Amino acid sequence: MKKLLLSATLLLATVAASRAQDFKYQTPPKALQDLLLAPPTPRVSLSSDGRVMALLQVQDFPTVAELAAPELRLAGLRFNPRTNGQSRVSYAVGIKLKTLPNGAETEVKGLPAQARISSVSWSPDNKTMAFALTTPGTGTDGRVELWVADVAGATARRLLVTPLNDAFGNAFEWVSDNKTILARVVPAGRGAAPSADAAPTGPAVQESGGGKKTAAPTYQDLLKSPTDERLFDHYATSQLVKVNVADGVAQPLGQPGVIQTASPSPDGRYVLVRTRHRPYSYTLPITRFPQRIDVLDLTSGSVVKTVADLPLADAVPIGADAAPTGPRNHAWRSDVPATIYYVEAQDGGNPKTKADIRDKLFTLEAPFSGAAQELAALPLRFGGLSWGNNQLALVDGYRWADRHQTTWQLNPGKAGAPLAVLFDGSSEDKYKDPGTPYEHRNAQGKLVLLTGGANNQSIYLLGNGASPEGDRPFVDELDLRTKKTIRWWRSEGQVYEVPIAILDASGKKRQLLTRRESLTQSPNYYLRDAAKKDKLTAVTKFPNPYAAFGGSFPKQVLKYKRADGVELTANLYLPPNYKKTDGPLPTLMSAYPLEFKDKSTAGQVSGSPYTFTRLGGGSPVFWVTQGYAVLENVSVPIVGEGSKDPNDTYIEQLVSSAKAAIDEGARLGVVDPERVGVMGHSYGAFMTANLLTHSNLFKAGIARSGAYNRTLTPYGFQGEERNYWQARDVYNAMSPFNYADKIKTPILLIHGEADNNTGTYPIQSERYFAALKGQGATARYVVLPAEAHGYAARENMLHVLWETNAWLEKYVKAPASQPAK
Asked if 730 and 650 count as a contact pair (C-beta separation under 8 A), the reply is: yes
Residues 6 or more apart in contact with residue 39 via CB below 8 angstroms: 543, 545
The active-site residue, picked from 334, 705, 755, 799, is 755
The Cα 640–Cα 646 span in angstroms is 4
Q: How many other CB atoms sit within 10 Å of the CB of residue 237?
A: 18
Give percent helix, percent strand, percent coil of the chain, each to the nearest 5: 20, 35, 45
CA distances to 149, 357, 391 from 385, in Å = 32, 17, 14
Our CA dihedral for 85, 89, 92, 97, rounded to 10 degrees, sits at -80
SS3 686: helix
- Cβ proximity of 257 and 238 under 8 Å: yes
d(CA 124, CA 278): 36
Distance CA 739, CA 724 (A): 18
Give the gyration radius of the chain's Cα atoms. 28
Residue 214 Cα distances to 3, 206, 211, 535, 720, angstroms = 61, 12, 9, 59, 18
What is the residue-wise DSSP string for 358-370? Answer: -EEEEEEETT--S
Q: 454: phi > 0 → left, psi -120 to 50 → alpha, else beta; which?
A: beta
The distance from CA 581 to its chain's CA centroid, rounded to whole angstroms, is 42
Rounded Cα distance, 32 and 801, in Å:
7
**Contact assessment for residue 751 and residue 784, using Cβ atoms and an 8 Å cutoff:** yes
Q: Catalytic residue at 682?
A: yes
- Examine the residue annotation and report whether 404 is marked as an active-site residue of this protein: no
- What is the distance between the alpha carbons of residues 815 and 794, in angstroms, rounded to a whole number? 30
Beta bridge partners of 431: none
CA distances 217 to 209, 314, 316, 718, Å, are 19, 11, 11, 11
- The catalytic residue among 682, 695, 705, 735 is 682
The SS3 assignment for 631 reads strand
CA dihedral 220, 221, 225, 230 (to 10 degrees): -150
Q: Cα-flanking dihedrals φ and ψ of residue 686, to 5°?
A: -55, -45
- Residue 761's alpha-carbon distances to 384, 708, 730, 779, 792, in angstroms, are 31, 10, 21, 19, 18
Listed residue (765, 731, 735, 746) closest to 819, CA to CA: 746
Residue 51 forms beta bridges with which residues? none
Q: How far apart are CA 314 and CA 329, in angstroms?
A: 17
**Annotated catalytic residue 789:** yes
Four-residue CA torsion sign, 425, 430, 433, 438: positive
Query: Omega into 714 within 30° of 0, i.e. cis?
Result: no
| Other Cβ atoms within 10 Å of 530 Cβ, number | 21
CA 693 to chain centre: 30
Q: Which of these is catalytic: 234, 330, 789, 799?
A: 789
DSSP E strands: which ranges in 159-204? 172-174, 180-185
Please list, in sequence order, all residues whose beta carbon lies within 8 angstroms of the beta carbon of residue 642, skipping any fewer than 6 positions away.
Answer: none
The residues annotated as belonging to the active site are 682, 755, 789
